[in-house]
């Protein structure tokens, strides 16, 4: 974490402010990240080396440890060399191309060292290889560079306390080393071979290149990197600061800023001072969500994504704004949108039902009045003749009026909500097919009924 690079007194003050105002943490992180980046750009190699020495000495002093290069052996001659790999690219805690040596001092005490040659003073030595000092080692794939691998070793103290606490990060070309060590590997992959050598020293090892290990691209504040999910660790790398979390220290996980394409993951991790610290990793692709969620569930992390303060936001985002089937059908008809309102409104549906019921009642009452008028004209012969002629005319008018009424009824039915898009022309044809001659006559009488 960037706060660890601050002097102890400043770090304590910053953490106090962050605790009181959690939202300020992001601003502090960005500020530290900005100045570290600017310093790296503006300083030459010598300036970087001096600053690194000051940081290392300050870190060791806070731990009560003093750097003492004199404790390192003058050279590694006389040691039993078990493995030597030349010209590896060390990324942390120093940057240099150098040789890796695995061997044992006289007296058979094993060590891991980096040196330019056997006959010169080594640059870096791990002589305490106990599990209390060396926590674990793993080899990870480098995204977008298939031939590269990264060896990561987490440790507490190095010989002479020359460098601050781990990690040790070494990059190598898997293809070229596989070719170089071909006869030694004996049908074994290079990764398996190297982990076997480290395991022989008593270091817990994890193969980070197997199928059950995966990584996703993400950002930590402004730094782009990759988030690796190992059986017992979650690692963010490879730009500084490299973050390593033991799964047993992760108290909870929260998914935030969820969009159609990306989402963020926040890890709440128990720190050394028993205080929980939050680490957010952003802009993760949605296609990676399922794998991450399965990992979270397999580790039984508490998922705080549905905490009360987040539920309201989720409910707002999940509100349905899909148009109904009637609205979709109306789009097929010119000016259909002017006719169709909100078909999903329950109150409108109740009103429509009541209106249709009242209209049917009025039709029945007017039909009875029409029958009484016809009965009064039956006693007059001339009236019968006139009535017959009028009835004939009424019948013709009724047939014409029936088509108009038929169109109106078809439109009313088409205004009914449907579960799926409908064919308006087909609906009209079906309605006409269902009407018989009696229906046409009754509708004709209704259309010519006197007020």
Domain boundary residue, one of 256, 279, 314: 314
Domain boundary residue, one of 314, 341, 375: 314
Determine the Cα–Cα distance for residues 336 and 228; give it in Å rounded to an integer.
Answer: 55
Residue 319 lies in a domain: no
Task: Indicate if 390 and 331 belong to the same structural domain.
Answer: yes
* pLDDT above 90 for 44: no
User: What's the whole-number average pLDDT of the chain?
Assistant: 76
CB-facing half-sphere around the CA of 156: CA atoms within 13 A: 10
Q: Which residues are bridge partners to 137 per DSSP?
A: 153, 205
Residue 171 lies in a domain: yes
Task: Indicate if 192 and 298 belong to the same structural domain.
Answer: yes
Residue 321 lies in a domain: no
* pLDDT above 80 for 145: yes
User: Best-predicted range by mean pLDDT among 68-77, 311-320, 409-418?
Assistant: 68-77
Contact 226, 216 (CB under 8 A): yes
The model's pLDDT over 167-189, given as tens digits with 9 standing for 90+, comes to 999 999 999 999 999 888 988 99
Residue 72 lies in a domain: no
Contact 154, 166 (CB under 8 A): yes
* pLDDT above 80 for 2: no
Task: Indicate if 84 and 230 belong to the same structural domain.
Answer: yes
Domain boundary residue, one of 269, 289, 314: 314
- Predicted local confidence at residue 4, as pLDDT: 66
Contact 221, 26 (CB under 8 A): yes
Using CA atoms of 436, 438, 441, 447 in order, give the dihedral in degrees to the nearest 10.
Answer: -80
Task: Indicate if 372 and 333 belong to the same structural domain.
Answer: yes
Work out the percent of the chain whose per-residue pLDDT is above 70.
61
Per-residue b/e over 357-366, b at no fewer than 16 CB within 10 Å? eeeeeeeeee
Residue 7 lies in a domain: yes
Task: Indicate if 267 and 153 belong to the same structural domain.
Answer: yes
Contact 164, 150 (CB under 8 A): no
Residue 194 lies in a domain: yes
- Predicted local confidence at residue 394, as pLDDT: 47
- Predicted local confidence at residue 41, as pLDDT: 62
Residue 112, domain CATH:
2.30.29.120
Task: Indicate if 188 and 270 belong to the same structural domain.
Answer: yes
Residue 335: domain span: 326-447
Residue 107 lies in a domain: yes
Specify the range with the lowest mean pLDDT, choosing from 51-65, 286-300, 421-435: 51-65
Task: Indicate if 131 and 244 belong to the same structural domain.
Answer: yes
Domains in the chain: how many in total?
3
Specify the range with the lowest mean pLDDT, choosing from 137-141, 245-249, 252-256, 400-404: 400-404
- Predicted local confidence at residue 306, as pLDDT: 75
Does this model's pTM top 0.75? My answer is no
Task: Indicate if 132 and 212 belong to the same structural domain.
Answer: yes
Q: Which residues are bridge partners to 227 per DSSP?
A: 216, 236
Identify the band that residue 69 occupies on the pLDDT scale cut at 50, 70 and 90.
confident
Task: Indicate if 132 and 204 belong to the same structural domain.
Answer: yes
Task: Indicate if 283 and 398 belong to the same structural domain.
Answer: no
Task: Indicate if 427 and 370 belong to the same structural domain.
Answer: yes
Task: Indicate if 262 and 120 belong to the same structural domain.
Answer: yes
Determine the Cα–Cα distance for residues 171 and 177; give it in Å rounded to an integer.
Answer: 12
Residue 83 lies in a domain: yes
């Amino acid at each position: 974490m960037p706060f660890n690079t601050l002097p102890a007194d400043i770090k304590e003050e910053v953490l106090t402010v962050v605790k009181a105002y959690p939202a300020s943490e992001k601003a502090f992180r960005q500020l530290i990240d900005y100045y570290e980046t600017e310093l790296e750009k503006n300083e030459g190699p010598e300036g970087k080396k001096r600053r690194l020495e000051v940081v290392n000495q300050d870190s060791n002093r806070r731990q009560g440890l003093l750097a003492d290069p004199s404790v390192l052996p003058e050279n590694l001659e006389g040691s039993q060399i078990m493995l030597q790999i030349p010209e590896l690219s060390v990324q942390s805690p120093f940057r240099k191309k150098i040789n890796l040596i695995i061997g044992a001092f006289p007296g058979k005490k094993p060590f891991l060292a980096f040196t330019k040659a056997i006959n010169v003073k080594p640059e870096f030595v791990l002589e305490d290889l106990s599990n209390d000092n060396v926590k674990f080692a793993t080899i990870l794939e480098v995204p977008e560079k298939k031939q590269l691998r990264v060896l990561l070793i987490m440790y507490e103290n190095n010989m002479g306390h020359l460098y601050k606490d781990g990690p040790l990060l070494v990059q190598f070309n898997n293809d070229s080393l596989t070719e170089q060590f071909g006869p030694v590997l004996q049908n074994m992959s290079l990764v398996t071979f190297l982990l076997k050598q480290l395991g022989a020293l008593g270091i817990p090892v994890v193969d980070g290149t197997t199928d059950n290990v995966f990584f996703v691209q993400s950002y930590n504040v402004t730094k782009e990197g990759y988030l690796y999910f190992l059986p017992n660790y979650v690692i963010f790398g490879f730009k500084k600061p490299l973050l390593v979390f033991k799964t047993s220290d992760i108290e909870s996980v929260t998914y935030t800023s969820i969009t159609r394409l990306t989402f963020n993951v926040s890890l709440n991790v128990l720190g050394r001072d028993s205080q929980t610290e939050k680490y957010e990793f952003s802009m993760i692709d949605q296609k990676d969500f399922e794998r991450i969620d399965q990992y979270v569930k397999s580790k039984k992390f508490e998922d705080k994504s549905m905490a009360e303060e987040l539920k309201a936001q989720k409910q707002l985002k999940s509100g349905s704004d899909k148009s109904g089937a009637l609205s979709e059908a109306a789009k097929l008809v010119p000016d259909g949108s002017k006719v169709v309102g909100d078909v999903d409104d329950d109150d409108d549906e109740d009103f429509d039902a009541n209106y249709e019921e009242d209209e049917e009642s009025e039709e029945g009452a007017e039909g009875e009045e029409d029958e009484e008028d016809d009965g009064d004209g039956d006693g007059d012969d001339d009236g019968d003749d006139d009535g017959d002629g009028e009835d004939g005319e009424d019948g013709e008018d009724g047939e014409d009026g029936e088509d108009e009424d038929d169109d109106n009824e078809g439109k009313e039915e088409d205004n009914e909500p449907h579960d799926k898009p409908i064919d308006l022309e087909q609906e009209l044809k079906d309605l006409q097919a269902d009407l018989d001659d009696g229906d046409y006559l009754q509708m004709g009488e209704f259309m010519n009924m006197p007020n």
